[in-house]
Amino acid sequence: MNLESETASLAPFRLEPQYVERIWGTPDLRPWYNFVSDPSPGHNPIGEVWLTGDDCRVKTGVLAGKSLSEVFSNHAVAMLGHAAAERMQGQSPLLLKVIFAKEKLSVQVHPDDRLAQKYGDPRGKTECWYTLAAESGAAVAAGLKSGVTLEQVEREVADGTLEESLEVVPVTAGDMIYVDAGTVHAIWPGSVLLETQQNCDLTYRLFDYGRPRELHVTKALEAIRLVSEAGKVPPVKLADRTVLVDREYFCVERIVVDGVRNGSSMPGADETAGGLQYLFAAAGAGRVSASSGGFEPVDLPERGIVAVPATSSAWQIEDCGALELIRITPRFPAGKLAGAA
């Protein structure tokens, strides 16, 4: 990949969602998405809707039909800017997804970058969950209770009592939960979550409620941090936006769009403009257009996502009805290897 040869700008484009089967998912995603899972034998219900998966297809613009992995491979600088493109080496930095859990997910842990690379993978998985909706009493697990030891975890995995050592976090709509790599965690039924994570699908399962799936107890014990930074993150309300979480790999914000808002007005004084941005409609709908010509408008439907590349010309977003806009931007921590090992 020749990064120096990439100079052309890219206009914002919408991505098609990818519906991913999970044994703990739900057969009917309506009203969130107009999708019903295949009921025939050999198929599982849908547990995750991937918004920026490597295999997600571009829906609009000159790249329509291309997979997102192709876009990053062939247009790394246009998507990310020079410095970030060099770090990512043609790979996408973030995977965004909506999680629909009808049953409990496994109790699990994700490796950090160092451990993932030890076993030949490019990066680990730090993530966060923004609660789009929650039933009364909904909760997740994020971390271990104080004083729990690895020996205790191993023993409770064997006797089926690991849940007793988990830190339970009640959730309501609008809550943000941060889950750094190494955190033992679980998602339980009762909520719909927007997950932002490093672009990595590594999961080490500790306990799976008797399902016939592989466990990864040895690697999980190596990955576990007995004390992590996981938990509910209080929102930071600024004049023009609410910062839901801003950590080493990503920043997630809720932005008010009153009529039409220029994209150039979104970055705060403490931010560097010009990087990749994802615009997600948590509710309502919007439209992304060029501020002074340059590309065709891109509709942002409810629960849809638009990628705004680093080299996009000046743009604006219009509220087309009850828009709740979530902006997600990647972060690239100094001194850490964000791309392939």
CB 205 within 8 A of CB 106: yes
pLDDT at 231: 98
Asked if the bond preceding 212 is cis, omega within 30° of 0, the reply is: no
Catalytic sites, residue numbers: 205
Single out the residue of 98, 115, 134, 109 nearest to residue 17, CA to CA. 98
Burial 23-57 (b: 16+ CB within 10 A, else e): ebbbeebeebbeeebeeeeeeebbbbbbbbbbebb
What is the tens place of the pLDDT at every residue in 198-239?
Answer: 999 999 999 999 999 999 999 999 999 999 999 999 999 998
pLDDT at 341: 36
pTM of the model as a whole: 0.95
Sign of CA dihedral 264, 267, 269, 271: negative
pLDDT tens across the length of the chain (341 residues): 445 445 578 999 999 999 999 999 999 999 999 999 999 999 999 999 999 999 999 999 999 999 999 999 999 999 999 999 999 999 999 999 999 999 999 999 999 999 999 999 999 999 999 999 999 999 999 999 999 999 999 999 999 999 999 999 999 999 999 999 999 999 999 999 999 999 999 999 999 999 999 999 999 999 999 999 999 999 999 988 999 999 999 999 999 999 999 998 887 544 555 799 999 999 999 999 999 888 999 999 999 999 999 999 999 999 999 999 999 999 998 765 554 43
What is the tens place of the pLDDT at every residue in 280-324?
Answer: 999 999 999 999 888 999 999 999 999 999 999 999 999 999 999
On the question of a common fold for 17-55+94-232 and 236-330, the answer reads: yes
Residue 201 burial (10 A CB sphere; 0-12, 13-18, 19+):
middle
Would you call 267 helix, strand, or coil by DSSP? coil
Q: Which of the 8 DSSP states describes residue 293?
A: B
The ranges assigned to domains in the chain are: 17-55+94-232, 236-330
Instruction: State phi, psi for 239 to the nearest 5 degrees.
Output: -65, -35
Q: Which CATH class is domain 17-55+94-232?
A: mainly beta
AA letter at 159: D
pLDDT at 2: 47
Rounded Cα gap, residues 141 and 166, in angstroms:
6
Q: How many CB atoms lie within 10 A of CB 209?
A: 14
What's the fold here for domain 236-330?
A: Jelly Rolls (2.60.120)
